[in-house]
Chain A
Amino acid sequence: MTTVHQLTAEAVTLAYGARTVVDALDLAIEPGQVTAIVGANGSGKSTLLRALARLIAPSSGTVLLDGVAVDRRPSKEVARIIGLLPQSPVAPEGIAVADLVGRGRHPHQRPFAPWNAADHAAVAAALAATGITDLADRPVDELSGGQRQRVWIAMALAQQTDILLLDEPTTFLDVAHQIDVLDLLTDLNRDRGTTIVMVLHDLNLAARYAHQLVAVRDGRIHTVGSPHDVVTPDVVRQVFALDSEVITDPVSGAPLVLPKGRH
């Protein structure tokens, strides 16, 4: 995992049918950093992430991985470099944790070839890194939401990619488990240098855990930069249509948004 991979979007336009969701957008993901994409509902942030993960083809423009269009490279080859945790993956009924995590090895395996030592080691390491080694033989359906999210992250880890994309990895988790997941991703970034790109709803968590914030508004990038550059009352008003005050988080030193509602 020493090579540095470059993921960039060049003039990417994304549309569902006739509706343009993302319009001629340019973005370079900082290698080795944690990037959070933030924006209001319907701003196109998840769509942008899906395009980076090659799940939707741009109607114009290109997503490039190391200078080559992602859809021109073999899908399995890309899957050894870019991993994705989708918003709502499906766990087959009754599947054991270790078997689900093992699915992450798919891009490294050939049809019919048996599991090799590298596969077993990758699954064991992914279970250990996410702290679910003890759950390995339990059926996924019996786990709590927080544990289940760890299983899916473990599957993405077993894929052993340099870039990991996550679509709202903290949704449906209580606050303790949200912090838990984001700490886990921070460890991954620090210990292995994994480039992390995630869509996050919570601006304060994004400011706290990301090196780089991408604020998206109406399918265009409004501001890109460090949390201190992006999380300002002006940007929050323009991106989220919300009046706020921004203070320094006494715990992390990151900017903290205090929304001003009507009450």
Chain B
Amino acid sequence: MAGRRARLRRRALVTTGLLLGVLVLFAASLMIGNTFYGPGPVLRVLAGQQVDGASYTVGQLRLPRATTGLLVGLAMGTAGVTFQTLLRNPLASPDVLGISTGASAAAVFGIITLGLDETAVSLLALGGALATALTLNVVAARGGFVGSRFILIGIGMAAMLQSIVAYLLSRAAAWDIQTAMRWLTGSLNGATWRAVAPLAAACAVLVTVLAARGRDLAVLRLGDDAAAALGVNVGRARLLSMLAAVVLLAFATAASGPVAFVAFMAGPIAVRMVGTGASLVLPAGLVGSAIVLAADLIAQHAFETRYPVGVITGLLGAPYLIALLIGTNRSGGSL
């Protein structure tokens, strides 16, 4: 039993460490830039004081950007691990299943074909994600709920939606492509306080919902029968968690576009850090935040050109996806 206590302690330590790591990355995102501001000026700006230069750069540019990055990562991480747990497969993240692509396709359609404004496009993206998830559920759940069928159909839908996006782009005017690009590669460039508010509200409600379901999700990993025997209402738990995850992902995608592979990588990294014993929802959310913040720092400052954050996460995620695909056939996956 000493081992159990040790594991609990390690889990608490690692989770605290992750939280600190996210805070450090968040602070770094506020300080680093064309002009470096030390902790002093940054803290004064956060406290609401007027600081020459820093008030605008930190308060109006870097702070909304870092906040968006933090929340987008949190939302994608928790949504991703929820899907992976429910479908008992590390491949089953909403970006691999085409749910993010559904949001992108709807947004691109709204921008290019309908010429909608920003808010309407975000709403349409939300609808796109929900519609994709619903279609996936209807098509894949016929004749029983099988995780692998869900994943294969999801990958197919993602490919189909990608080609719709490509078709729409081929017919678009040059200036629309600029706007539409944000929906193809995740980027924090458009981050404003106005866009942070709905995402923050969605995170506050839905991350709490999913975290409260954390133990149910952990029990669901033992199989539907075992979970039901342990008092989990399997159908309701799955529906509510999936719905919460899809809406959360849709809000995140509306704020930043689909930041590639964050939802996909956060859960498996979290499970390696905190172990299999407990709920993964919050650790995965923190890992997601850390990935987005770190990748955005790299994308903004490591190269001569500034890249969208999704380019960096894509570069990190693609090899991991390949490694996972090679490994799954041998071991059956780890989440």
Contact = CB atoms under 8 A, between A and B. Distances in A.
A137 B3 contact: yes
A84 B332 CA distance: 25
A124 B333 contact: no
B3 A136 contact: yes
Nearest to A95: B276
B224 to A, nearest CB: 8
A96 B3 contact: yes
B212 A89 contact: no
Interface stretch (B183-191, B214-222, B242-250): B214-222
Given A94-B276, A106-B215, A112-B212, A78 B1 contact: no
B232 A94 contact: no
A92 B222 contact: yes
B182 interface: no
Interface string B303-333: 0000000000000000000000000000111
Contact of B219 (A54, A96, A103): A103
**Which among A74, A88, A103 has the highest number of chain B CB atoms within 10 Å?**
A103
Contact of A99 (B7, B211, B333): B7
A115 B208 CA distance: 20
Contacts of A74: 231
Contacts of A159: 230
A203 B216 CA distance: 37
B275 interface: yes
A162 to B, nearest CB: 14
B3 A106 contact: no
Given A109-B215, A111-B214, A92 B3 contact: no
B7 A96 contact: yes
Interface in B219-237: 219, 221-223, 225-226, 228-233
Contact of B215 (A53, A88, A111, A136): A111
Interface in B224-281: 225-226, 228-233, 271, 275-278
Contact of A55 (B213, B215, B221, B229): B229
A159 B232 CA distance: 13
A111 B223 contact: no
Contacts, number: 108
Contacts of B335: 93
A169 interface: no
A96 B277 contact: yes
A222 interface: no
B62 interface: no
B284 to A, nearest CB: 14
A84 B225 CA distance: 8
Contact of B223 (A75, A88, A106): A88
Contacts of A92: 221-222, 276
A83 B4 CA distance: 24
A102 B233 CA distance: 19
Contacts of B221: 90, 92
B334 interface: yes
**Which among A96, A98, A99, A124 has the highest number of chain B CB atoms within 10 Å?**
A99
Nearest to A137: B3
A39 to B, nearest CB: 20
A120 B8 CA distance: 12
Given A90-B222, A109-B215, A99 B276 contact: yes
A90 B230 contact: no
A79 B229 contact: yes
Contacts of A112: 211-212
B65 interface: no
Nearest to A108: B231
B333 to A, nearest CB: 7
Nearest to B212: A111
A86 B3 contact: no
Contacts of A111: 212-215
A247 interface: no
A90 B231 contact: no
A99 B4 contact: yes
A89 B4 contact: no
B1 A136 contact: yes
B215 A93 contact: no
A87 B224 CA distance: 11
A84 B229 contact: yes
Interface in B168-202: none
A255 interface: no
A83 B227 CA distance: 11
A80 interface: yes
A104 interface: yes
A93 B4 contact: no
Contacts of B214: 111
21 contacts: A55-B228, A75-B228, A75-B233, A76-B231, A80-B231, A84-B228, A84-B229, A88-B223, A89-B223, A90-B88, A90-B221, A92-B222, A93-B276, A94-B276, A96-B7, A96-B277, A99-B275, A103-B230, A106-B230, A123-B1, A136-B3
Given A76-B231, A94-B271, A107-B231, 6 more contacts: A75-B231, A79-B229, A84-B229, A90-B221, A96-B4, A137-B3
Interface of A: 50, 53-55, 74-80, 82-84, 86-96, 98-100, 102-104, 106-107, 109, 111-112, 115, 120, 123-124, 136-137, 159, 165
Interface of B: 1-4, 7-8, 88, 211-216, 218-219, 221-223, 225-226, 228-233, 271, 275-278, 331-335
Of all A-B residue pairs in the complex, the 7 with the closest CB atoms, nearest first, are A79-B231, A137-B3, A84-B229, A76-B231, A86-B225, A99-B277, A107-B231
